[in-house]
């Protein structure tokens, strides 16, 4: 049996069309997901393997994507480290007890990744239910992004508290980043054991950093993760950090995710066409009329090329996207014909 398109794309094999999936594909734009959301709170959905599996499968069955990504959350890592995480629907996460000093860092737990056994159970169950139809993607948040939440306590437009922590107490920041990194490597390797075929690292807030600060507080830890996760290919998604494409292209990662602010030709140039790129359709463009979506998708693939490329959005799908528009995005990739 031939290997899945996603895995072939990550190996750089020549393809007629790229694989396609969408970040946050398992969730808030799907009516069946909304029914489950009305019945169960967020962490019940994440921590119940049968529910996480059902939600993970929905976009495979209903939208036709070429890969499943496990339904979970990046903030399970702080939870495993002993930090309380609250989540109210529509309001975003809240971490009431933020990290402020060495005492807080010393109190963090780094050797109990099995606290996240519900994620591993969900992966194993989903892998079985998929029965080889499409590959299964696991994920984690990047250390810098997790630090942002652990220090800031919530989402932010500037993450000024988190950045002040790093700039005024760099030794403490590096100590915290290292602890997050150590747990994340254990977590991702266990995801691979449980059935993940690929893992993605979401550095959702790396674009908050200048190139110099990215080199200091984000990149070293991303490189450690790529080196430490040995069992499956790793995709890095440093959102907004276009300036890091060149150095990350030699990191050993199998793929690099791009947001919609990066020109495909420039991304190829920065990476010397040496790595599989993923992205970078503006999620808001899924609100355009369906013929416009299909035209824009074709133009995007033409710009990237069908090889060493995974069609995706430049960030997570929005809650107000009609399901038929999401399907049109996927269909346009599947119908792609390369120019002669």
| Catalytic residue numbers, as ranges | 24, 28, 37, 73, 149
Report the alpha-carbon angle 86-205-36, nearest 5: 40
Phi and psi torsions of 146, nearest 5°: -65, -40
Considering only CA atoms, which of 259, 262, 313, 309 is closest in space to residue 287? 313
CA distances 324 to 20, 35, 59, 299, 331, Å, are 16, 18, 12, 20, 10
Cα–Cα distance measured from residue 156 to residue 149, given in angstroms and rounded to the nearest whole number: 9
Cα–Cα distance measured from residue 176 to residue 35, given in angstroms and rounded to the nearest whole number: 38
Cβ count near 24 (within 10 Å):
18
User: Taking the alpha carbons of 6, 11, 17, 22 in that order, is the dihedral positive or negative?
Assistant: positive
Cα–Cα distance measured from residue 242 to residue 54, given in angstroms and rounded to the nearest whole number: 35
CA distances 165 to 174, 205, 218, 221, Å, are 10, 15, 14, 17
Cα–Cα distance measured from residue 232 to residue 229, given in angstroms and rounded to the nearest whole number: 7
């Amino acid at each position: 049996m031939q290997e899945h398109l996603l895995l072939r794309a990550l190996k750089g094999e020549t393809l007629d069309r790229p694989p396609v999936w969408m970040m946050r594909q398992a969730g808030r734009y799907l009516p069946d997901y909304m029914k489950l959301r009305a019945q169960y709170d967020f962490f019940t959905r994440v921590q119940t393997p049968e529910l996480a599996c059902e939600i993970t499968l929905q976009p495979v069955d209903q939208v036709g994507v070429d890969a499943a990504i496990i339904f979970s959350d990046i903030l399970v890592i702080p939870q495993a480290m002993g930090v309380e995480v609250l989540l109210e629907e529509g309001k975003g996460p809240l971490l009431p007890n933020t990290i402020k000093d060495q005492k807080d860092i010393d109190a963090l737990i780094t050797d109990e990744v099995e606290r996240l056994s519900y994620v591993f159970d969900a992966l194993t169950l989903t892998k079985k239910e998929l029965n080889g139809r499409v590959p299964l993607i696991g994920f984690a948040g990047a250390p810098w992004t997790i630090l942002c939440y652990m220090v800031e306590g919530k989402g932010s437009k500037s993450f000024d508290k988190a950045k002040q922590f790093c700039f005024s107490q760099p030794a403490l920041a590096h100590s915290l980043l290292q602890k997050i990194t150590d747990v994340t490597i254990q977590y991702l390797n266990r995801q691979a054991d449980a059935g993940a075929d690929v893992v993605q690292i979401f550095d959702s807030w790396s674009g908050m950093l200048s190139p110099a600060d990215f080199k200091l507080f984000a990149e070293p830890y991303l490189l450690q993760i790529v080196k430490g996760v040995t069992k499956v290919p790793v995709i890095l998604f440093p959102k907004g950090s276009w300036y890091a494409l060149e150095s990350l292209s030699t990191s050993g990662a199998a793929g690099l995710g791009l947001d919609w602010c990066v020109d495909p030709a420039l991304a190829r140039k920065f990476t010397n066409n040496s790595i599989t790129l993923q992205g970078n359709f503006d999620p808001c463009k899924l609100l355009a009329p369906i013929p416009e979506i299909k035209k824009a998708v074709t133009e995007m693939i033409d710009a990237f090329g069908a090889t060493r490329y995974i069609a995706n959005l430049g960030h997570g799908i929005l809650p107000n996207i009609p399901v038929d528009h999401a399907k049109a995005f996927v269909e346009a990739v599947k119908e792609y014909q390369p120019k002669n």
